[in-house]
Amino acid sequence: MANDLIIRPQVPAKRPRTSVPGLVFGTRPRVIVKRSVLYLAAVLVLYFGVIGNLMHRIDADLDFTPPAPVEDGSHAVNMAEALILRETVENRWTANDPFFFPTGFLDNMPNYQRGMMRAISRFAMELENQIGRLRGSSAIDRDLERAVGLLQFPTDVWVFDFDQSFLPIQPADTQYEAAARALRAFNARVSMGMAVFETRPDALAMTVERMAGELGSRAAIVDDHVSGDGFIIDFVSDDIFYFNKGMAYASYLLLRELGRDFEDVIRSQGLTRVWHQALESLRLASQQKPLIVLNSSGANSFLANHLHLQGFYLKRAILQLDEIARVIRAN
């Protein structure tokens, strides 16, 4: 049977093995490039868009109170310390984030935190020069001097600042935490009667006058920007808006607690009503929450101008604080 056909069993052809990278990115050059670009775009959106926005927080809680106050110390100093620690530790300081951080391209929270720190810094200066001294004739308190110096540190300095050194340095948030510790040390000595905390009418007048002046400089920036012929949406309006929002919020909380420290002075001078009116103006300035900060032409436009409205509340607060100082000086 030599001519009989030998039938061999058919063996299925083996499929070429594809590696995991091949399954993910493909095997053809064009497919590899296309998928690589898509994956990179998805990662960037997830990292900067999703994670960055989750880390981006504008904390304007009006009911905020210091979680661990110094008993029998100053209410306002307790608040200043608590706000610094909240923004540097709990909420994380974002004003010095480098470009490769998830929040590197978001600027509302950094500007908000800068505004808060400006208000706290001004308050600390008045503590050093007015409230923490005997009519300006005594020596400057060492803890207040240290706190004021640390709060002047630039807000955007990260671990590396190549303008100063190629070696690692103390970042801004570390400096501010040290300032909070100095404020707490001062307040602890106030509670024990070992440090000066003068609740004199003239000290209150000077403090609110200087804080009003700081707010006035921001209101002037609003006026300059609004009076310009800018586009309805620009990249400057939101920076100004959130800086002012942070300053108004911190000023509101600091003055609210300062009112508790100087309660007898405010009542005896008949300033209770105007004091609450000033707080209300700052509250309104700090609580605007626009989805997009608009810079319309104002009265001639049906669109809002959020800076214009914020500036109105700031100016009203300035007038009310100036009235408080004027009444105290007249008595």
**pLDDT tens by residue, 227-267:** 776 666 677 888 999 999 999 999 999 999 999 999 999 99
Residue 24 confidence class, pLDDT cut points 50, 70, 90: low
CB contact at 8 A, 246 and 114: yes
Average model confidence (pLDDT) for the chain? 86
What sign results for the dihedral spanned by CA atoms 214, 259, 91, 162? positive
Q: Are residues 331 and 203 in the same domain?
A: yes
Q: Are residues 171 and 219 in the same domain?
A: no
pLDDT value of residue 278? 97
pLDDT value of residue 1? 47
Q: Are residues 181 and 238 in the same domain?
A: no
Q: Are residues 235 and 113 in the same domain?
A: no
Q: 258: Cβ–Cβ under 8 A, 6 or more apart, which residues? A: 75, 76, 204, 207
Q: Are residues 282 and 256 in the same domain?
A: yes
31-40, 70-79, 143-152: range with lowest mean pLDDT: 31-40
Average pLDDT over residues 98-106: 80
Rounded to whole angstroms, the Cα distance separating 325 from 272 reads 13
221-243 CB burial, b ≥16 within 10 A, e <16: bbeebbeeeeeeeeeebbbbbbb
For residue 11, pLDDT beyond 70: no
pTM: 0.86
pLDDT value of residue 279? 97
Rounded to whole angstroms, the Cα distance separating 223 from 308 reads 8
Q: Are residues 176 and 260 in the same domain?
A: no
Average pLDDT over residues 264-282: 96
Is residue 214 included in any domain, yes or no? yes
CB contact at 8 A, 202 and 136: no
Q: Could you report how far apart the first and last alpha carbons of the chain are, in Å?
A: 134
Is residue 90 included in any domain, yes or no? yes
pLDDT value of residue 161? 67
Residue 177 confidence class, pLDDT cut points 50, 70, 90: very high
The winner for highest mean pLDDT among 37-51, 161-175, 205-219, 220-234 is 205-219
Tokens of 211: 């804080």
Total domain count, the chain: 3
Q: Are residues 180 and 236 in the same domain?
A: no
pLDDT value of residue 236? 85
Q: Are residues 71 and 144 in the same domain?
A: yes
For residue 85, pLDDT beyond 90: yes
Q: Are residues 167 and 107 in the same domain?
A: yes
CB contact at 8 A, 155 and 172: yes
Q: Are residues 170 and 112 in the same domain?
A: yes
**215 DSSP β-pair partners:** none
Residues of the chain with pLDDT > 90, as a percent, come to 57
DSSP state of 140: P
Identify the domain containing residue 253 by its residue range. 199-331
pLDDT value of residue 12? 61
Q: What CATH code is carried by the domain that includes residue 236?
A: 1.20.120
Average pLDDT over residues 25-43: 76
Q: Are residues 237 and 295 in the same domain?
A: yes
For residue 191, pLDDT beyond 50: yes
Q: Are residues 96 and 188 in the same domain?
A: yes
Rounded to whole angstroms, the Cα distance separating 270 from 268 reads 5
The winner for highest mean pLDDT among 135-139, 179-183, 193-197 is 179-183
Rounded to whole angstroms, the Cα distance separating 101 from 104 reads 5
Residue 23 confidence class, pLDDT cut points 50, 70, 90: low
pLDDT value of residue 104? 76
Rounded to whole angstroms, the Cα distance separating 30 from 14 reads 26
Q: Helix 306-330 to helix 272-286 angle, to the nearest 10 degrees?
A: 160
Is residue 3 included in any domain, yes or no? no
Tokens of 44: 């960037």
pLDDT value of residue 216? 94
For residue 72, pLDDT beyond 80: yes
For residue 2, pLDDT beyond 60: no
